[in-house]
Every structure is written in structure tokens, then in C-alpha cells.
């Protein structure tokens, strides 16, 4: 019958040899990063080895070193992915609101930010664990602040808000949101709705002309 192998393991005439399924590079990288994230959260960074990561991802060790030199490189990549996911989710929430409804757009930023942070705070704690406070700026935070400052600039241009320095105000709002959510997490409260309602009310009153 067609499809059977000869005694030597060579395909019989008329049968195409089986080919190994090779995953695209982006899939292999994503698998490695996801495996590392799970292990970092469960075991801690120090206790997680490259052997653990490749075993969880189901790839050869050489595959890891083809894309990353060290575990630190994986953490940097996870930090970048976390930040891009945060920005994308928040942007989607904002874009669902009318362009001229600035209060709704700010509330959407708050809702998107709070929900995304609550859903991923364990990964956040892992990938930003070594961020030194002596380093006053980071590319990832700057991107988030720029997104929020753009909303504030739009509201100011429309005469809705009194915002003298949009970046300074964006920093206050972002760090305030971060602190409130961290406090809720510490108290074991993970429901986003009450936090979003509280923050939206506070921030909109702060910005009112």
C-alpha cells in the first residue's frame, strides 16, 4: 500500500518523504518568552535556568541561544512586550470613544490601564523588578506618559481642561493610578470597576477648568 515504509525506513516509491514541521521564528521566540514568563512568575528569576525555559517551551537549547544571549535579554524582551501590549490595549479603549468626548477618552485610558495592569501585575513585577529608582526615566514609561499627555493636550486644545504642562500632569495621573492599583492588589482587591470609577471621578475633577 502507498504510504508504507520499506524495511530500511526509506519511503516506498510514489510516497513523499515526511517533512519536519518547523515553526516560524516569531512563534519560537514567543514560545520561549511565554515559557520564561510562566517560570519567572512561578519560580523566580534566579531559580529559573535556561534549561527550564527550553524544556517548558519544548525547543532545543540551541534555539534559545539563537535568539537570546542570557536570561536578562529575555526579561528585556518581556518588558518590551508588556509595554506594547499595555499601549495597544489602552489605545483600543480610547479609539472606541468619539474624538470630541475628551472625558470619555480619559476614562477609557483609565479603564484600559487599570484592567491591563490588574490582569498582568505578576508579570509586571517580574519584568520591572530590577528597575533602579536612580534611573529617572525609562523608554517604556515614557511611551505610556506620551500616550496620556496626548489626551491631555487634546482636551486642553478643546478648552475642556486646564492643563499647564501636559507631561507633568500625565506623570501625576499615571503614578496616582499605579499607586491606587498597587494598594488594591495588596489588599486582595482585583475588581477593576470600583478603581476605575474612583480614579475617573478624581482625575476629571482635577482637570476641570
35-43 long-range contacts (CB < 8 A, ≥24 apart) are: 36/71, 36/74, 36/75, 36/78, 37/78, 37/123, 37/126, 40/75, 40/78, 40/123, 40/126, 41/122, 41/123, 41/126
Taking residues 92-108, report their average pLDDT. 96
Same domain, 65 and 85: no
Q: With contact defined as beta carbons under 8 Å apart, do 128 and 83 qualify?
A: no
Same domain, 40 and 109: no
Same domain, 64 and 113: no
What CATH number is attached to the domain comprising 56?
1.10.10.60
Same domain, 48 and 108: no
At 127, is the pLDDT very low, low, confident or very high (cuts 50, 70, 90)? Answer: confident
Same domain, 127 and 195: yes
At 192, is the pLDDT very low, low, confident or very high (cuts 50, 70, 90)? Answer: very high
Same domain, 34 and 98: no
Of the three residues 69, 100, 124, the one that is the final residue of a domain is 69
Same domain, 109 and 201: yes
Residue 39: C-alpha distances to residues 36, 44, 193, 204 (Å): 5, 7, 30, 40
Taking residues 120-132, report their average pLDDT. 81
Q: With contact defined as beta carbons under 8 Å apart, do 195 and 114 qualify?
A: yes
What CATH number is attached to the domain comprising 191?
1.10.357.10
Answer whether residue 17 is part of any domain: no
51-69 pLDDT tens trace = 999 999 999 999 999 999 9
Whether the pTM exceeds 0.85: the reply is: no
Same domain, 156 and 93: yes
Same domain, 83 and 160: yes
Answer whether residue 149 is part of any domain: yes
Same domain, 47 and 110: no
Output the nine-digit C-alpha cell for 50: 535556561
Same domain, 61 and 154: no
**Structural domain of 27:** 22-69
Residue 24: C-alpha distances to residues 28, 37, 47, 50, 82 (Å): 7, 20, 29, 21, 21
Same domain, 174 and 104: yes
**What is the model's pLDDT at position 2?**
43
**What is the model's pLDDT at position 16?**
43
Q: Within 13 Å of residue 33, how many CA atoms lie on the same side as its CB?
A: 20
Answer whether residue 14 is part of any domain: no
**What is the model's pLDDT at position 208?**
85
Taking residues 174-198, report their average pLDDT. 95
> What is the C-alpha to C-alpha distance for residues 37 and 43, in angstroms, rounded to an integer?
10
Taking residues 74-94, report their average pLDDT. 93
Grid cell 516560524 is found at 24
Answer whether residue 143 is part of any domain: yes
Ranking 21-25, 86-90, 192-196 by mean pLDDT, the lowest is 21-25
> What is the C-alpha to C-alpha distance for residues 61 and 173, in angstroms, rounded to an integer?
44
What total of structural domains would you count in the chain? 2
Phi, psi of 88 (to 5 degrees): -65, -45
Integer-rounded Cα Rg, in Å, for the chain is 24
Amino acid at each position: 500500500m502507498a504510504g508504507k515504509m520499506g524495511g530500511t525506513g526509506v519511503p516506498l516509491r510514489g510516497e513523499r518523504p515526511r517533512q519536519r514541521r518547523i515553526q516560524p521564528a516569531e512563534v519560537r521566540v514567543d514560545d520561549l518568552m511565554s515559557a520564561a514568563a510562566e517560570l519567572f512568575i512561578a519560580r523566580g528569576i534566579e531559580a529559573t535556568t535556561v534549561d527550564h525555559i527550553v524544556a517548558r517551551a519544548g525547543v532545543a537549547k540551541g534555539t534559545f541561544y539563537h535568539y537570546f544571549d542570557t536570561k536578562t535579554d529575555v526579561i528585556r524582551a518581556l518588558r518590551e512586550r508588556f509595554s506594547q501590549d499595555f499601549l495597544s490595549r489602552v489605545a483600543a479603549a480610547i479609539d472606541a470613544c468619539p474624538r470630541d468626548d475628551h472625558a470619555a477618552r480619559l476614562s477609557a485610558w483609565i479603564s484600559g490601564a487599570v484592567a491591563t495592569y490588574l490582569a498582568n501585575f505578576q508579570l509586571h513585577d517580574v519584568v520591572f523588578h530590577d528597575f533602579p529608582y536612580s534611573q529617572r526615566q525609562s523608554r517604556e514609561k515614557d511611551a505610556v506618559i506620551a500616550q496620556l499627555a496626548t489626551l491631555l493636550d487634546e482636551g486642553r486644545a478643546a478648552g475642556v481642561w486646564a492643563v499647564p504642562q501636559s507631561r507633568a500632569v500625565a506623570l501625576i495621573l499615571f503614578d496616582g493610578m499605579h499607586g491606587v492599583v498597587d494598594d488594591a492588589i495588596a489588599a486582595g482587591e482585583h475588581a477593576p470597576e470600583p478603581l476605575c470609577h474612583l480614579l475617573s471621578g478624581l482625575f476629571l475633577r482635577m482637570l476641570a477648568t
